[in-house]
Amino acid sequence: NKFPIKDLLCRHRIGEVKVGETSLHVSIWSKHRKEGLEAMSFFIIELKKRVPIWKWAILENGEKIPSECKHE
């Protein structure tokens, strides 16, 4: 394994998520905080790169425009 963690749980909402609502919940179980935080950072970066979760802003008139989101 890349990171010495015991387990990882991820829940990502789909459908409409209003501003201020939680869209992503990730829990990581690890013996040490450093490894857990590194695993969390890696996981979220990879999730955003690889999973086709497209974000759209919905304007007051109902028009949808893609949100700009850039990842390394």
Q: What tens digit of pLDDT does each residue of 13-44 get?
A: 988 888 889 999 999 999 999 999 999 999 99
How many Cα neighbours within 13 Å face the side chain of 23? 13
- List the domain boundaries for the chain: 5-66
Please give the Cα distance from 38 to 41 (Å, whole number): 5
pLDDT at 50: 87
Query: 53: which residues sit within 8 A by CB, 6+ positions away?
Result: 12, 14, 47
pTM equals: 0.71
CB 46 within 8 A of CB 16: no
Per-residue pLDDT at 35: 95
Tell me the C-alpha distance between 7 and 38, whole Å: 14
Give the confidence band of 71 by pLDDT, cuts at 50, 70, 90: low
